[in-house]
Amino acid sequence: MPGVPDVQLSSLYQQLILEHYKKPRNRGALEDKTVEVHMRNPACGDEIKLQMKVEDDIIRDLRFLGDGCSISQASVSMMTSMLKDRPLDDAIALARRFTEMMHGDPEAAKDRSLKDLRALQGVSKFPIRVKCALLGFDALQQAVLQSRTATGDQESAPSEGS
Amino acid sequence: MSVTHTHAAAPPVPTLDVERIREDFPILAQEVNGHPLAYLDNAATSQKPTAVIDTLRHYYERDNANVHRGLHELSRRATDAYEAARATVAGWIGAPAPSELIFTRGTTEAINLVASSWGEANLAPGDEILLSELEHHSNLIPWQLVAKKTGAVLRYLSLDDDGRLILDDLPGILGGGRVRIVAIAHVSNSLGTINPVAEIARQAREAGALVAVDGAQGAAHHPVDVEKLGADFFAFSAHKMCGPTGIGALWVRGEILERMPPYQGGGEMIDLVGKHESTWAALPHKFEAGTPNIAGAIGMAAAVEYLRTIGPEAILRHEQDLVGYALDALGDSPGVRLFGPPEPSERAGVVSFRMAEAHPHDISTVLDREGIAIRAGHHCAQLVMQRFEVGATARASFYLYNTKEEVDRLVRGLDTVRSIFGGD
């Protein structure tokens, strides 16, 4: 009902999330990409195309195209804004930490290294929407894997966890 | 419905006593997230009346046994009830003989049965299977699979901007002389469009093609007579029409069914078994390998009996009243885009829409907090989403127990969505 605040809803739809949803960062095509992953959620139709330029295991640039709900699009927007000029290992660490928060880990939810992404912690109370929040990170992990496979650096490929 | 009949010729379709009907559905009398449940996801699955729940309970408490095997009293009762259910369910769609009705797990298995058994025996390279862009994946993927196996080719009827099939293309496609089967939804699950199946079937028949109807939505939301439709196959599910999940039926015109090879092998479907060759049971048992979903079939028949007391014409009219009401209200709601035919008479109780401000998932989450259950997504109809160039829609779907007050709550819920997502 309009006017009656719903605590769970307002914790889900934090201003920061809505702001990233309406004004997504790094949205668009990346011309000199070295890797591209197209990730879909077949259950609901959300999709994200993540493009990265990776050199010497460093993400030099990354952009995304996508169509989906506020949670999936805000999540990937926040994610891309944190990973420019960061090593692939940092990307994997971020994906793991974020996944822990989505699965309700209270320590992860306090971790300042997650920055804006912490605004998404309310999603963990909506189990059906958790996969929306993780879609961009699934794409990220796949992109990292592909980057390492392409350069023959398979030993440090992330294990399939969580 | 442009013809006006006198009362003597055709009694008027009665109006539903929805308040009384709601009492038949115990699940509706609950609160969700602190609000009365408004269940508007009936195209996904319907709720079950006490009559069906009691029938299942009675069967398991008194009559449960395997069918067509035992020589004892319980087996006789179970067999009688199972076969009586077949006759009841066959009667719901106007099937000429109960022996032409095969119980399946649902519409999906029924269509897979047609595609595998009829398709593999009858399709040759270059033969055409005519589908439409409107189809649910269950009437799409089985045909893609059989096309790959046989070398047959898939053709499609397109949709116009209002979500109607473009029938003008039909003579040209059929005129090629290669279409062996037309497989089409009776009612679209994503847009609600009621397709002109009888007209399509008439043209298909003239061109020598068979007609398979996906009746998952049709049998639940529209009176069905397979003879009047001109169908050769009609597939439907119990759970969309007040019955249990995991049970459905396939009707096949007798002379076609007699020539179809078995779909699955096992007990129940055999006559004489040898080490290298066996012979098959009489119809319809040849197509029901293994112990069937006995309770499900009996529950499906109970659902049919229940719906019969209310009347399929009255149910459809009630749904179309709600659709008309919802289309008007949503049409007045700022930033709402509606999909599907504008005339309620052209559709069953389904309303698909999008909002300018928010994605369908977000709409659904906000409405759920107000106790309103809708569906958001591609509705297993990705070709429809591609046609309208959207990734997803929000879908409210109505049934006999829904009310205008629930539609009002849906529309007010969109105000909540706007209050969260509106503005910059």
Q: Is residue B97 assigned to a domain?
A: yes
**Backbone φ, ψ for residue B180 (5° rounding):** -95, -30
Query: B50-58 and B294-310 are packed helices; what angle lies between their axes, rounded to 10 degrees?
Result: 150
Give B419's contacts in chain A (Cβ within 8 Å). 2
pTM for the predicted model, two decimal places = 0.92
Question: Given an 8 Å threshold on Cβ–Cβ distance, is B385 in contact with A68?
Answer: no
B158 at the A interface (CB within 8 A)? no
Q: Are residues B329 and B391 in the same domain?
A: yes
pLDDT at position B8, please? Answer: 52
**Tens-digit pLDDT profile for residues B380-405:** 999 999 999 999 999 999 999 999 99
- From A71-80, A145-154, B17-26, B108-117, the region with the lowest mean pLDDT: A145-154
Instruction: Using pLDDT thresholds of 50, 70 and 90, give the confidence band for residue A156.
Output: very low
* CATH label of the domain that carries residue B374: 3.90.1150.10
B366 at the A interface (CB within 8 A)? yes
CA distance B236 to B395: 21
Q: Is residue B294 assigned to a domain?
A: yes
B106 at the A interface (CB within 8 A)? no
Task: Give the domain-ending residue among B253, B276, B309.
Answer: B309
Which residue segment(s) compose the domain that B331 sits in?
Answer: 18-42+311-421
Q: Which of B380, B412, B421, B422 is catalytic?
A: B380
pLDDT at position B5, please? Answer: 44
Work out the average pLDDT over B367-379. 96
Q: Are residues B158 and B105 in the same domain?
A: yes
Work out the average pLDDT over B55-81. 95
CA distance B170 to B139: 19
Q: What is the dihedral of CA B55, B59, B62, B64, to 10 degrees?
A: 180
Question: Given an 8 Å threshold on Cβ–Cβ distance, is A126 in contact with B365?
Answer: yes
Q: Is residue B119 assigned to a domain?
A: yes
CA distance A11 to A153: 41
**Tens-digit pLDDT profile for residues B295-318:** 999 999 999 999 999 999 999 999
- In single-letter form, the type of residue at position A97 comes to R
The residue with greater pLDDT, A73 or A2, is A73
pLDDT at position A8, please? Answer: 86
Interface contacts (A, B; CB < 8 Å):
58
pLDDT at position A162, please? Answer: 36
pLDDT above 60: residue A152: no
Task: Give the domain-ending residue among B309, B340, B370.
Answer: B309
Q: Is residue B149 assigned to a domain?
A: yes
* CATH label of the domain that carries residue B233: 3.40.640.10
Task: Give the domain-ending residue among B287, B309, B331.
Answer: B309
pLDDT above 60: residue A69: yes
- Percent of chain B at pLDDT above 90? 94
Question: Given an 8 Å threshold on Cβ–Cβ distance, is B416 in contact with A2?
Answer: yes
Q: Are residues B248 and B350 in the same domain?
A: no
Q: Is residue B9 assigned to a domain?
A: no
**Tens-digit pLDDT profile for residues B254-270:** 999 999 999 999 999 99
In B, minimum Cα distance to A17 occurs at B421
Instruction: Using pLDDT thresholds of 50, 70 and 90, give the confidence band for residue A158.
Output: very low
Q: In the predicted model, what is the mean pLDDT of chain B? A: 95
Is the separation of the CB atoms in B187 and B162 below 8 Å? Answer: no
All domains of chain A in start order, with CATH: 6-153 (3.90.1010.10)
Q: Are residues B324 and B298 in the same domain?
A: no
Question: Given an 8 Å threshold on Cβ–Cβ distance, is A68 in contact with B362?
Answer: no
What is the count of structural domains for chain B?
2
Cα of B414 to nearest chain A Cα, Å: 9
Residue B272: how many CB atoms within 10 A of its CB? 9
Q: Are residues B283 and B370 in the same domain?
A: no
**Tens-digit pLDDT profile for residues B347-362:** 999 999 999 999 999 9
Q: Is residue B222 assigned to a domain?
A: yes
Q: Are residues B283 and B406 in the same domain?
A: no
Question: Given an 8 Å threshold on Cβ–Cβ distance, is A129 in contact with B419?
Answer: no
- In single-letter form, the type of residue at position B80 comes to D
Q: Are residues B99 and B137 in the same domain?
A: yes
CA distance B197 to B167: 11
pLDDT at position B136, please? Answer: 97
Q: Is residue B8 assigned to a domain?
A: no
Q: Are residues B135 and B192 in the same domain?
A: yes
Q: Are residues B346 and B199 in the same domain?
A: no
**Tens-digit pLDDT profile for residues B33-62:** 999 999 999 999 999 999 999 999 999 999
Q: Is residue B392 assigned to a domain?
A: yes
Question: B242 an active-site residue?
Answer: no
Question: Given an 8 Å threshold on Cβ–Cβ distance, is A22 in contact with B424?
Answer: yes
Q: Are residues B252 and B333 in the same domain?
A: no
Question: Given an 8 Å threshold on Cβ–Cβ distance, is B377 in contact with A70?
Answer: no
Cα of B164 to nearest chain A Cα, Å: 23
pLDDT at position B35, please? Answer: 98
Q: Are residues B322 and B407 in the same domain?
A: yes
Q: In the predicted model, what is the mean pLDDT of chain A? A: 89
Give A22's contacts in chain B (Cβ within 8 Å). 424
**Tens-digit pLDDT profile for residues B148-191:** 999 999 999 999 999 999 999 999 999 999 999 999 999 999 99
Work out the average pLDDT over B318-326. 98
Q: Which residues pair with B179 in a beta bridge?
A: B128
Query: B360-369 and A70-82 are packed helices; what angle lies between their axes, rounded to 10 degrees?
Result: 120
B155 at the A interface (CB within 8 A)? no
H-helix or E-strand spanning residue B380: none
Q: Are residues B224 and B165 in the same domain?
A: yes
